[in-house]
Amino acid sequence: MLKLSVAIGVALTVLTVSNAANGQAKKEVRSIDDLPQFSYAVKGTVADILKSSPQAFEATVAPMRADIDRVLNDYDIHDTATLRGLLQAKLGAQIASGKEDKAALATIEQLRSHEEKPDARLITGLAPQAFLEARMADGTTPGTCPKSFQANYAKKLNALPWATVGVAETRLKGLAQVANATFMTGLAERDIAPTLDRSHTLSSLLAWKLMAARTNMDVVVTCRTEIATATNRYVDQHAVQKPDIWAARDVTLPPDAKLTPVPVAIWDSGFDASLFPGQLLLGTNKQPVMGPTYDIDYRPSHEPLAPLSAQDKASYPKVVAAANGVSDLQTGIDSPAAAAFRQQAATMSPAQMKDFMQTFDSSESYMHGTHVAGIAARGNPAIRLINARITYDTRPVPAPPTDDLQKRNAAAYRDTVAWFRAHHVRVVNMSWWNRPSNYEDDLERNGIGKTAEERKTLARHYFSIERDGLYAALKGAPDVLFVTIAGNNDSDNAFEETIPSSFKLPNLLVVGAVDQAGQRTNFTSTGQNIGVYADGYQVESVVPGGAKVRMSGTSMAAPEVTNLAAKILAVNPKLTPEQVIDIITRTSDAGESPTIRRINPKAALSSVMVHDDRANTTH
């Protein structure tokens, strides 16, 4: 939900290097498997490293920095997200050293010149650039903000076109208010500490995150007040929200129309069925039909929602309030919920922040399926929801993959899809994903594998079992339309082999996220097989218990498409998955580029009803 790259104004961009050392041809990197892997012995905790002296930090990251330079020089990487990770890590080391300010400015310019998204191309490295220029002009003491930073940053900010960067800067306005050292350290610890504390080693990806996090400490935390002041003024001076294109496109099917009930499965973390009266698939006993449900070990379960610990249950109401507070901060709304979250973040100790983030992750997973179901069901009295639950492992140290675990996972996919077919499910929403690097991370957190290369090999083995099982299951159900997410990693899903979004199947529709104005979000992943884009920015829906929460992500965009597909089938149930996909894509329109095809529910339903006059719609 919370995207730090936007919050701190240090967006990452692409770097391409044209010539390898000594005139040697570069090694091609066309998938994540082609990327070299490294492992580093690291002393101390995440907090200790992030607040260490420039000399101590430089010594810690020296081998990492050398490998980054070597990879950038010797490899031709065909993935922008990977290049951004490398360059952001390098920038963190350059800023921390205090001796490479000119080189750091050059890195920022390289990042900026290769960014594809219009807003990121303008705001990439804006705060670090202003910081470096001010430090070169003023000189400064480590841990203090240069005197001329605020004026320099404000000047750069005020020169930016609001129409392009307004959404990003509005998020920054609120998030800068909570970006203290505890908050930033807590974010880094959530990702890095479980591995570092256990094994005192870090693989490449975690090492890059550690280096990039230092920029947050050296620039964002140090100049937090100045960033917030300048950003607040910029936003308040313009204060014009982007137009919302979605209300005019929306379609609500009236309850008295002649519609065909459409069974739709929400394959997710489970949902609160009490919130959807009249929109559930009922059995012969007039009770809601439960689809397959599995626990964290892929064993059959009977619980409709992913279980919460006693501590998480007690904290759930506070997390719901915090979720709305974070959402309001991201949209620049000075609400009571936003104020409460600012106060909460300001008073937490590092340990409390770490615990809060773990609880937030668990509760967000608990809320996820219900939030998705609410989006999918909106405005459709003919939908008949089915709960098919999986369990996301949100523990700091998840269960390590094993052959038995992965075989049960693949079997669960097979049996769940077989159940869908047996119960005539027409549409399945899949707002989830996985990739090989997640397995590497799980192995590393559990201390499995002597080297990064060994973990890579093991990860590929375990991932292949899941990938092949899921692909076979989806391919074997040509009569079911599966709608899935592009992902929230601002990366190419084919390069990272993200599943299921990297699959190419005639009954699978992959969805990216745009904002309320129809412009591509900063977080949405990319890929040649993304069929359409839908609203995935601050989408309001219900969560267990009935509260309404706004969330962002391709997880919210996919059920917008599921919603449309179910409405199309309610009007014309004879359509095949391929025909529904054709209608949705054919009636979509181009956004900021021809490849950004935004759904248009009104146009899609009108197209269907030209050939079927059984239903009237209200708009």
When mean pLDDT is compared across 103-117, 189-203, 329-343, the lowest value belongs to 329-343
Assess whether 158 and 228 both reside in one domain: yes
The predicted-structure confidence for 522-564, as pLDDT tens digits, reads as follows 889 988 899 999 999 999 999 999 999 999 999 999 999 999 9
Residue 123 and residue 260 in one domain: no
Query: Domain check: are 213 and 276 in the same one?
Result: no
Q: What percent of the chain has pLDDT over 90?
A: 66
In a domain, 331, yes or no: no
Q: Which residue, chain included where needed, has tokens 């990366």?
A: 491
Give pTM, 2 decimals: 0.90
The answer on 575 and 468 residing in a single domain is: yes
| DSSP label at residue 492 | B
Q: Are 259 and 207 within one domain?
A: no
Any domain includes 321: no
CATH number at residue 513: 3.40.50.200
pLDDT of residue 2: 30
Cα-Cα end-to-end distance for the chain: 30
Give the pLDDT of residue 564. 98
Q: Residue 136 corresponds to which tokens in the numbers above?
A: 């070169």
* 232 and 253 fall within a common domain: no
Residue 361 lies in a domain: no
- Mean pLDDT lowest for which of 324-328, 366-370, 545-549, 594-598? 324-328
Quick one: pLDDT at residue 341? 84
Q: What is the pLDDT at residue 23?
A: 54
E strand or H helix that includes residue 430: strand 427-430
How many Cα atoms sit within 13 Å of 58 on the Cβ side?
A: 10
Q: Are residues 147 and 256 located together in one domain of the fold?
A: no
Ranges 140-154, 166-180, 385-399, 569-583: which has the least confidence: 166-180
- Determine contact, residues 444/203, Cβ cutoff 8 Å: yes
Whether the pLDDT of residue 178 is over 60: the answer is yes
Q: Is the pLDDT of residue 220 over 60?
A: yes
Q: How many CA atoms lie within 13 A of 343 on its CB side?
A: 8
In a domain, 186, yes or no: yes
**For position 44, what pLDDT does the model report?**
94
**Sorting pLDDT into bands at 50, 70 and 90, what band is 440?**
very high
Which pLDDT band, with edges at 50, 70 and 90, does 332 fall under?
A: low
Q: Quickly state the pLDDT bin for 177 (edges 50, 70, 90).
A: confident
User: Which of residues 183, 215, 238 is at a domain's end?
Assistant: 238
Q: Are residues 511 and 574 in the same domain?
A: yes
Rounded to the nearest 5°, which phi and psi values hold at 75?
-125, 140
The pair phi, psi for residue 102, each rounded to 5°, is -65, -40
Per-residue model confidence (pLDDT) at position 24 = 67
Please indicate, yes or no, whether residues 55 and 187 belong to a single structural domain of this protein.
Answer: yes
Structural domains of the chain, count: 2
Average pLDDT estimate for 241-261:
91
Average pLDDT over residues 473-502: 94
The count of residues in the chain is 619
Q: What's the CA gap between 190 and 188, in Å, rounded?
A: 5
Does residue 348 lie in a domain region?
A: no
* Sign of the alpha-carbon dihedral angle for 394, 413, 82, 488: negative
pLDDT at position 611, please? 60
Per-residue confidence at 78, pLDDT binned at 50, 70, 90?
confident
Q: Is residue 346 part of a domain?
A: no
Of the three residues 238, 262, 281, the one that is the final residue of a domain is 238
pLDDT value at position 303?
92
Q: What would the mean pLDDT of 429-438 be, rounded to a whole number?
A: 95
DSSP assignment of 237-291 equals HH--PPP--SGGG--B--TTS----EEEEEEESB--GGG-TTSB-B-TTSSBPEE
- Which of 238, 259, 281 represents a domain boundary (last residue)? 238
pLDDT value at 405 more than 70: yes
Higher model confidence: residue 84 or residue 457? Answer: 457
**Under 8 Å between Cβ of 71 and 87:** no
Structure tokens at 346: 């300001």
Whether 83 and 161 map to the same domain: the answer is: yes
Residues 421, 570, single domain; the answer is yes
Whole-number Å distance between alpha carbons of 317 and 308: 13
Let me know if residue 114 belongs to a domain: yes
Which of the two residues, 389 and 16, has the higher pLDDT score? 389
Q: Which of 89-93, 108-112, 290-294 has the lowest mean pLDDT?
A: 108-112
Residue 8, pLDDT score: 28
The 10s digit of each residue's pLDDT in 199-218 is: 899 999 899 999 999 999 99
Is a pLDDT exceeding 80 seen at residue 12? no
Phi first, then psi: give them for residue 58, nearest 5 degrees.
-60, -40
Going by pLDDT thresholds of 50, 70 and 90, the confidence category of residue 11 is very low
Print the domain residue range for 296: 247-314+382-610
Whether 343 is in a domain gets the answer no
The reply to whether 252 and 183 lie within a common domain is: no
Helix, strand and coil content of the chain, in percent to the nearest 5, comes to 50, 15, 35
